[in-house]
Structure 1
Amino acid sequence: MDTITIVLLLAAIVTVSIVIIIFSQMRERARIERVRKITAQEDGYKRAHRLLSEIPGQYFTADLKLLLIKRMEEACAELTRLKADLPVSNWQESALELKTEIMEKRDARTPVKIDSPEKSTYVKELLQNLFKMVEAMHKSGRIDTATAKKNLKYVLFLVHKTHADLHVFQARDYVRQNEIRKAIHAYHLASTELGKSRDNPLAMKAVKSFRTRIKELEVMDTEGKDTANAESQSKLDREWDTFLHDDEWKKKADYDD
C-alpha cells in the first residue's frame, strides 16, 4: 500500500474508534441518567409512603392524604415509563386502594400522643418533609397555587401544634401531680406556639381555650383547691383530645382565609 492509502486507513480507524467511544459514552450517560431518574422516583414514592404511614393520624386531612397519594401515583407512572425493575404494579394497586378508602372516608388512622420531646421532634421533622414535598409539587407545576397555599399553611400550623401537643401533655401531667404553677407555665407555652398561626381559626380557638384553662388553674392555685379530678373535669382537655380529628372542629376552619 502506498502512503496515502495507509494514512486514509489509519484516519478511518481513528474516526471509527472515536465514534465508538462517543457512542459508548452516550449510552453510559443515558444509562446513568435512567438510573438517576429511577432512584429519584423510587425515593419520591417511598418518602410519600413513609409520611403517609408515620405522621400521626390526627394531623391528616383528606386533602393532605390525597396529595401524598398523588405523589406516589406520579412516581409509579414515571417508573413504569422507565421500565424500572421494581414492584411498581403492586405499589400502584396499593395506592389506588388507599385512595379509594380516603375518598370513601374509610381510612381511619390512629391518633398518637405527643408525650416526649423526642416524639415531638420526630413528628416535626416528618411535617417539615411534608412541607417540602408540597412545595416541590407546586414548583414543578403538579399542583396549583391555591392548593399549595392552602396545604402549606395547614402543615405549618401542624408544626406549631406538635410543640403545643407536648406542652399540653406536660401541663396535664403537672396537674395530676398538683404542680399548678408548672401546669400554668406549660399551657402558656402551648398558647405561644399556636399563637404563631394567627391566621388559622383552629389555632385561635385553641389559644382562647388555653387562656380559659390558665384562669381555671390560677383560681385553683390561689384558693388551694384539690386538683385530683381537675384534668378529667376540664372541658379544654376533652376538646384537645379530638382537636384535629373531630369533624365539628374541622368544619369551623377555612384555610383559604
Structure 2
Amino acid sequence: MDAITIVIILAAVVTVSIVIIVLSQMRERARIERGRKITAQQDAYNRADRLLSEIPGQYLTTDLKLLLIKRQEDACAQLASLKADLPIKQWQEASQQLKTQVLEKQDTRSPVKIDSAEKSNYVKELLQNLFKMIEGMHKSGKIDAATAKKNLKYVLFLVHKTHADLHVFQARDYVRQNQLRKAIHAYHLASTEMGKSRDNPLAMKAVKSFRTRIKELEAMDAEGKDTASTESQAKLDREWDTFLHDEEFKKKKADYDD
C-alpha cells in the first residue's frame, strides 16, 4: 500500500469521524431544544392554570377566563406536536370542559376578600403575570391588537382595584372602631388608587362615592358622632362589594370596552 492510499484512507477516517461527531452534536442540540420547548409550554400551561385557580373570582370576567383557556389550548397543541410524555389529552379535555362551562355561564368562582397587605400584593402579582401573558399572546399573534388592548386595560384597572380593596377594608374596620381620621385617610388612599383608571367610568363612580363618604365622615368627626352603623356606610359597602357583578357595571364595562 503506497503513501497516497494511506493518506486517502486516513483522510476518509477523519472525515467520517467528523461527520459522526457533528451529527451527534446536532442530535444532542435538537434533544436539548425539544426539552426546552416542552418545558416552556408545560410552564405556560401550568401558569395559565394557576391564574385561573388563584385570581379572585370577582376579577375573572368571561373574556379573561377564555383567554387563559386559550393559552392552555395553545400550550397543549404545541406539546402534542412535540410528542411530549405528558397527560396532554387529559389537559385538553379539562380545558374544553371548563370552556363549555364558561360559555354557558356555569363556571362560578367565589370572591376573595382583600383584607391584608400580603393578600393584596399576592393578587397584584397574579394580575401582573396575567398582564404579561396577554402581552405575550399578542406579540406571538395568538390574539389581535384590539383584544389585547381591551383586556390589558381591564387588568391594569384590576391592579388598581386590588389596592383600593385593601384600603376600603381598612376604612370599614376603622369606622367600626370609631377611628374616623384613619378611616378618612384610608378612603383617600382608595380614591387615589381608583383615580389611576380615569378612563374607566365605574372607577370614577367609585371615586365620587369615596369622596362623598369622606365628607360625611369629616362632618361626623367634627360633631363627635358615632358612625359604627350608619346607613351611608352600609350603602357604600354594598356598592363596593357588588362593584364587579351588578348589571349596571356590565353595561358600563361594555361601553368602556367599546
Q: TM-score range by the shorter chain?
A: over 0.9
Provide the residue aligned with 2:92 in structure 1: 92
Name the amino acid aligned to 1:20: I
d(CA) in 2 for partners of 1:209 and 1:48? 35
Q: In angstroms, what is the RMSD of aligned CA positions?
A: 1.2
Q: Given the superposition, is the C-alpha separation of residues 128 and 137 from structure 1 closer, same or farther in structure 2, using an over 3 Å criterion?
A: same
Provide the residue aligned with 2:73 in structure 1: 73
Provide the residue aligned with 1:179 in structure 2: 179
Provide the residue aligned with 2:137 in structure 1: 137
Q: Given the superposition, is the C-alpha separation of residues 232 and 109 from structure 1 closer, same or farther in structure 2, using an over 3 Å criterion?
A: farther
Greater relative CO (CA pairs within 8 A, separation 6+): 1
d(CA) in 2 for partners of 1:25 and 1:231? 75
Deviation per CA, 1:193-236, whole angstroms, max 9, x where unpaired?
01000001111111111111112212221222222213785311
d(CA) in 2 for partners of 1:187 and 1:231? 17
State whether structure 2 residue 222 is matched by structure 1 residue 236: no
d(CA) in 1 for partners of 2:137 and 2:6? 60
d(CA) in 1 for partners of 2:8 and 2:212? 95
d(CA) in 1 for partners of 2:232 and 2:97? 39
Contact 2:72 2:95 in 1 (8 A): yes
Name the amino acid aligned to 1:195: G
Q: Once superposed, which parts of structure 1, at least 4 consecutive aligned residues long, lie more than 4 Å away?
A: none
Contact 1:55 1:126 in 2 (8 A): yes
Contact 1:194 1:207 in 2 (8 A): yes
Name the amino acid aligned to 1:256: D
d(CA) in 2 for partners of 1:47 and 1:245? 26
Provide the residue aligned with 2:38 in structure 1: 38
Per-residue deviation, 1:250: 2.1
Provide the residue aligned with 2:117 in structure 1: 117
Provide the residue aligned with 2:17 in structure 1: 17
d(CA) in 1 for partners of 2:12 and 2:226? 99
d(CA) in 2 for partners of 1:226 and 1:18? 88
d(CA) in 1 for partners of 2:99 and 2:2? 76
Provide the residue aligned with 1:6 in structure 2: 6
Q: What are the within-5 Å matches in structure 2 for residues 129-208 of structure 1?
A: 129-208=129-208
d(CA) in 2 for partners of 1:184 and 1:33? 57
d(CA) in 2 for partners of 1:125 and 1:55? 10
Using structure 1 for the length normalisation, give the TM-score.
0.97
Using structure 2 for the length normalisation, give the TM-score.
0.97
Deviation per CA, 1:51-77, whole angstroms, max 9, x where unpaired?
110000001110011000000000000
State whether structure 2 residue 47 is matched by structure 1 residue 56: no
Deviation per CA, 1:78-130, whole angstroms, max 9, x where unpaired?
00010000111111011000000000000111000000000000000000000
Contact 2:213 2:233 in 1 (8 A): no
Deviation per CA, 1:140-160, whole angstroms, max 9, x where unpaired?
111001000000000000010
Contact 1:164 1:190 in 2 (8 A): yes
d(CA) in 2 for partners of 1:31 and 1:46? 22
Contact 1:172 1:231 in 2 (8 A): no
d(CA) in 2 for partners of 1:116 and 1:231? 26
Q: SS in structure 1 opposite 2:249? A: helix
Contact 1:176 1:227 in 2 (8 A): yes
Name the amino acid aligned to 1:116: S
The number of residue pairs the alignment matches comes to: 257
d(CA) in 1 for partners of 2:65 and 2:182? 37
Q: SS in structure 2 opposite 1:20? A: helix
